[in-house]
């Protein structure tokens, strides 16, 4: 079975060297690597031109393309019957590709395999962000989990049937792609051992932009309306309550337990993500989780409203 690994990159010079090294260390190499650069200006494209070509590498520059268009272009340039997809901002576990494609080799009826991604966090803020935004491996329910295109493999004919990634959608294109194959009821599995490490955003402005854009994509595409409605309802209730009932015991008696439950699983991630870190860092994370969660929720609500306006305007 011929495996084509594809990736899109743009201005990833900070991360691309580590990504390429992790690709070289795979216990199973792909038969070819197809990379589309969306117009890097930081030396990413030039670096990839000079790397050790341990397999057949096709490097293509596609100025101005978004992620979906870059992925479609990369897949169209590939020749494998199975497409493995990841991102240049990630680090691949050594047996990632081997674990990811094994089910497709063992079962000819299987159309898609999803892998798992976990945080690559090097400082306190990145660990805090991971606590707020990413489930641990133990939390992931494989029967409900929808994989990201940081870690996914599928047969070429599935991509062809679905018409590829949605090039009209700048953000959230991989989740939209997921919903398309999910609706068709295809045979798929999620493999927790197919692990990719995903680098966290280093500061508040970049974190805000990230989740604003994700939710903007939800608004444009119509994805997850129930989740966003629940978030608006929750904060609307809280705002009204503070204005009208802030001195009422029943209001805080009903609101605080729900707020603690909402933040609770984020707190439970702290021992795992701050393992072997100073106690003061863990304590600071306990205090900061609610504020970071609120900050991310504001980004999501603002992004969803912006995307919804765009959607309503056609």
Same domain, 189 and 64: yes
Q: What is the pLDDT of residues 191-231, one digit of tens each?
A: 999 999 999 999 999 999 999 999 999 999 999 999 999 99
Same domain, 187 and 247: no
Q: What is the pLDDT of residues 169-202, one digit of tens each?
A: 999 999 999 999 999 999 999 999 999 999 999 9
Question: Using H for helix, E for strand and C for coil, what is the string for the chain?
Answer: CCEEEEEEECCCHHHHHHHHHHHHCCCCCCCEEEEEECCCCCCHHHHHHHCCCCCEEEEEECCCCCHHHHHHHHHHHCCCCEEEEEECCEEECCCHHHHHHHHHHHCCCCCEEEEEEEEECCCHHHHHHHHHHCCCHHHCCCCCCCCCCCCEEEEHHHHHHHCCCCCCCCCCHHHHHHHHHHHCCCCEEEEEEEEEEEECCCCHHHHHHHHHHHHHHHHHHCCCHHHHHHHHHHHHHHHHHHHHCCCCHHHHHHHHHHHHHHHHHHHHCHHHHCCCCCHHHHHHHHHHHHHHHHHHHHHHHHHHHHHHHHHHCC
Same domain, 150 and 238: no
Give me 49's structure tokens: 């031109």
Averaged pLDDT for residues 291-308: 96
| C-alpha closest to that of 274 among 119, 150, 140 | 119
Same domain, 47 and 171: yes
Averaged pLDDT for residues 32-36: 96
Query: Where is the domain boundary, 132, 167, 199?
Result: 199
Same domain, 172 and 244: no
Q: Give the count of domains, the chain.
A: 2
The C-alpha angle with vertex 67 and arms to 162 and 294, in degrees rounded to 5, equals 105
Query: Where is the domain boundary, 171, 199, 227?
Result: 199
Same domain, 230 and 191: no
Domain that holds residue 170: 3-199
Query: Where is the domain boundary, 173, 199, 225?
Result: 199
- CB neighbour list of residue 219: distance below 8 Å, 6 or more residues apart: 228, 303, 304, 305, 306, 307, 308, 309, 310, 311
Same domain, 58 and 112: yes
Same domain, 108 and 30: yes
Same domain, 34 and 170: yes
| C-alpha closest to that of 300 among 248, 234, 246, 231 | 231
pLDDT of residue 297: 96
Q: What is the pLDDT of residues 74-103, one digit of tens each?
A: 999 999 999 999 998 899 999 999 999 999
CA distance 31 to 29: 6
Same domain, 74 and 128: yes
Same domain, 59 and 125: yes
CATH number assigned to the domain comprising residue 132: 3.90.550.10
Same domain, 89 and 119: yes
């Amino acid at each position: 079975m011929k495996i084509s690994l594809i990736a899109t990159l743009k201005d990833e010079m900070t991360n691309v060297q580590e990504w390429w090294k992790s690709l070289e260390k795979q216990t199973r190499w792909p038969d070819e690597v197809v990379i589309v650069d969306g117009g890097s200006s930081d030396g990413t494209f030039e670096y990839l031109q000079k790397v050790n070509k341990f397999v057949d590498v096709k490097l293509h520059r596609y100025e101005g393309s978004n992620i979906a268009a870059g992925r479609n272009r990369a897949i169209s340039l590939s020749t494998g019957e199975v497409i493995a997809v990841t991102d240049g901002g990630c680090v691949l576990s050594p047996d990632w590709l081997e674990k990811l494609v094994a089910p497709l080799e063992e079962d000819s009826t299987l159309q898609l395999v999803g892998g798992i991604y976990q945080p690559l966090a090097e400082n306190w803020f990145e660990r805090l962000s991971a606590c707020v935004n990413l489930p641990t491996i133990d939390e992931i329910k494989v029967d409900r989990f929808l994989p990201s295109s940081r870690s996914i493999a599928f047969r070429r004919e599935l991509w062809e049937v679905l018409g590829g990634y949605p090039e009209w959608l700048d953000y959230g294109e991989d989740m939209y792609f997921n919903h398309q194959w999910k609706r068709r009821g295809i045979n798929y599995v999620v493999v927790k051992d197919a692990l990719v490490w995903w680098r966290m955003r280093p500061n508040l402005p970049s974190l805000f932009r990230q989740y604003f854009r994700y939710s903007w994509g939800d608004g444009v595409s119509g994805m997850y309306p129930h989740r966003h409605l629940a978030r608006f309802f929750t904060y609307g209730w809280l705002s009204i309550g503070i204005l009208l009932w802030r001195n009422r015991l029943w209001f805080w008696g009903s609101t605080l337990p729900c707020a603690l439950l909402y933040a609770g699983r984020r707190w439970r991630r702290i021992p795992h993500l701050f393992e072997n870190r100073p106690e003061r860092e863990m304590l600071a994370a306990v205090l900061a989780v609610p504020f970071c969660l609120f900050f991310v929720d504001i980004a999501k609500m603002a992004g969803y409203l912006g995307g919804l306006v765009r959607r309503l305007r056609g």
